[in-house]
Amino acid sequence: MKGMIIMNNKNKLLSITEKRANNSMKIGSKNGIKLLSFPYIIWMIGFIVLPLILILYYGLTNKSGEFTLSNIALITDPINRKALLLALELSLISTIICLLLAYPLSMILSKNAKNSNSFVVLIIILPMWMNFLLRTIAWQNILEKTGILNTILKFLHLPTLNIINTPTAIVLGMVYNFLPFMILPIYNVLSKIDKDVVNAARDLGANGFQTFMKIIFPLSIPGVISGITMVFVPSLTTFVISTILGGSKLVLIGNVIEQQFRLGNWNTGSGLSLVLMVFIFMSMAILSKYDKESEGSQIW
């Protein structure tokens, strides 16, 4: 659910700040109106800024409060390093699979008549209304040794598959949960491309393939970037999917951090969180390089 909003929110915010500052409407006396923001500002400081500073504090100190980098250095610990690398690997694979599945789908869907626009969005979003955990557990059902998939395969006299508790299951869970977040922004961007622009390319001599490579795909990049953002970060940081579909043996960085906090090791947990945040920040920075046009697309 989140990604749907985040997708257009991120872009909207950037476009708001960069472009429209001069066109804002000044309602009423300036001082009076600004008072309205105080509750939010106080809330923000208390519950967004300070908490993050706390993570920074705990991450850089040990249990007695002395400054140390050992928490951060924990990432080099073999188990933690493995968890981070596995998370990176699986989330990258999931993101790529989502992209490969979503792009053709979005192209097919955007070619339809305009009336089915909101219907399409509805159909794609609808699965998201089932509880996130239950949806993932449903996949557990399907992939189990005696699960539904194997029951069907046995019925067809095909060999059974042992997918549960493997990285494949985790990737499947990630793709399943986050695919709509890749589909919607790409679909949005593609359906907003002026049909005459595509016609112009054809008119000037481009065939289908050339039109796609030179016109359609470049114009769809903002949507692709949104989609990647919406899939990669949640995949990277998940611990639920790996718990339910990966079993206790497969550990992602999210699991490690969650475990640390469960055991009360705030310092080490925070240290690892800081490392994770660095990765998130880096990937955002890389992605924003490609997203030159910060004009987002609306879902509704």
Report the residue from 97, 135, 166, 294 that binds other proteins according to the rule CB under 8 A: 135
Nearer to other proteins, 165 or 273 (CB): 273
Report the residue from 103, 181, 187, 239 that binds other proteins according to the rule CB under 8 A: 239
Q: Of 60-68, 69-77, 156-164, 252-260, which part binds other proteins (CB under 8 A)? A: 252-260
Should residue 199 be labelled a site residue for other proteins when binding is judged by CB under 8 A?
yes
Residues 66-85 binding other proteins (CB under 8 A) are none
Report the residue from 78, 146, 157, 289 that binds other proteins according to the rule CB under 8 A: 146
Mark 95-134 with x for binding to other proteins (rule: CB under 8 A) and - for no binding.
Answer: ------x--xx--xx----xx--xx--xxx-xxxxxxxxx
Should residue 23 be labelled a site residue for other proteins when binding is judged by CB under 8 A?
yes
Q: Of 68-76, 78-86, 157-165, 233-241, which part binds other proteins (CB under 8 A)? A: 233-241
Should residue 280 be labelled a site residue for other proteins when binding is judged by CB under 8 A?
yes
Mark 25-64 with x for binding to other proteins (rule: CB under 8 A) and - for no binding.
Answer: xxxxxx-xxxxxx-xxx-xx-xxxxxxx-xx--x------
How many angstroms separate the Cα of 255 from the Cα of each of 138, 247, 289? 21, 11, 30
How many angstroms separate the CA atoms of 127 and 178, rounded? Answer: 11
Report the residue from 72, 257, 265, 268 that binds other proteins according to the rule CB under 8 A: 257
For the CB of residue 149, give the shortest distance to other proteins in the complex, in Å. 9
For the CB of residue 67, give the shortest distance to other proteins in the complex, in Å. 18
Should residue 282 be labelled a site residue for other proteins when binding is judged by CB under 8 A?
no
Three-state secondary structure of the chain = CHHHHHHHHHHHHHHHHHHCHHHCCCCCCHHHHHHCCHHHHHHHHHHHHHHHHHHHHHHCECCCCCECCHHHHHHHCHHHHHHHHHHHHHHHHHHHHHHHHHHHHHHHHHCCCHHHHHHHHHHHHHHHHCCHHHHHHHHHHHHCCCCHHHHHHHHCCCCCCCCCCCHHHHHHHHHHHHHHHHHHHHHHHHHHCCHHHHHHHHHCCCCHHHHHHHHHHHHHHHHHHHHHHHHHHHHHHCCHHHHHHHCCCCCCHHHHHHHHHHCCCHHHHHHHHHHHHHHHHHHHHHHHHHCCCCCCCCCC
Q: Of 69-77, 78-86, 92-100, 196-204, which part binds other proteins (CB under 8 A)? A: 196-204
Should residue 263 be labelled a site residue for other proteins when binding is judged by CB under 8 A?
no
